[in-house]
Amino acid sequence: MFFDIHIHENLFSSDSHLNPIQILEEAKEAGLDGLCITDHESNDFKNYVAQYTENYDLKIIVGAEILTQEGDILVFGLDDLPTEVIPARELLTAVNKAGGVGIAAHPFRNNNRGLENNIADLAPLLHGIEALNGSTSSANNYRAIEAGLANTLSLLGGSDAHYPGRIGKFITEIDAEIDKEKDFIEAIKNDRVQPLYREAGEYLPVLKRPHGAEVI
């Protein structure tokens, strides 16, 4: 299944210029099977999923993008989100206790909101890394791929869309049937995911090779 795992909508992310209908229409046009709404410090879109999927054959998983003291982390399966900026280790401990997953978001983007060199230290608590992020340079996405491989983390892709025309730039292929959040979480924990990039209307894989080998 094809999922864009990192999208912001404008009900709960004040910096987004995408309403839910725009997101669903772009996702269908991009050939996706599902998407993840990951608003900043909020998972309140869970209350709207049924309303917005009634007329679209798409799976919607709701997580959140949480800013920690070390950088942004996408979390799924954590209902009670922190109300202040806390250490990444504290957030990830809560995520693991809840049976969820934590993914390092845009870890090397030049905005001081990525985990960067904290990834190695936090890797035992993380489950994945956003190897391809639609708002990050190719060079810094490459660094994320290398960090994911070096720390044995699942590699994923997301558009990080805040504006029209961005959804589906980078996505995650999931080798499992995703119906509920728990299916999504289990697929990541079992590394049944890989990041894809879109070129000429097709989704193509970023090949995973042993650490130290070329990644293309």
Q: Which of 206, 214, 193 is nearest to 1 (CA)?
A: 193
Confidence grade of residue 209 (pLDDT, cut at 50, 70, 90): very low
Contact (CB, 8 A) for 164 and 26? yes
Q: Is the pLDDT of residue 152 over 70?
A: yes
Question: Mean pLDDT over residues 91-102, rounded?
Answer: 98
From CA 121, how far away is CA 24, in angstroms rounded?
A: 37
Average pLDDT over all residues of the chain = 94
* pTM of the predicted model as reported, rounded to 2 decimal places: 0.94
* Angle at the Cα of 157 from the Cα atoms of 40 and 1, rounded to 5 degrees: 110
37: tokens are 């709404």
Contact (CB, 8 A) for 138 and 191? no
In order of 19, 43, 95, 106, the CA distances from 13 in angstroms are 10, 10, 21, 17
Ordered structural domains, the chain, with CATH? 2-205 (3.20.20.140)
> Beta partners for 130?
156
Q: Is the pLDDT of residue 214 over 90?
A: no
pLDDT of residue 110: 87
Burial class (CB in 10 A: 0-12, 13-18, 19+), 157: buried
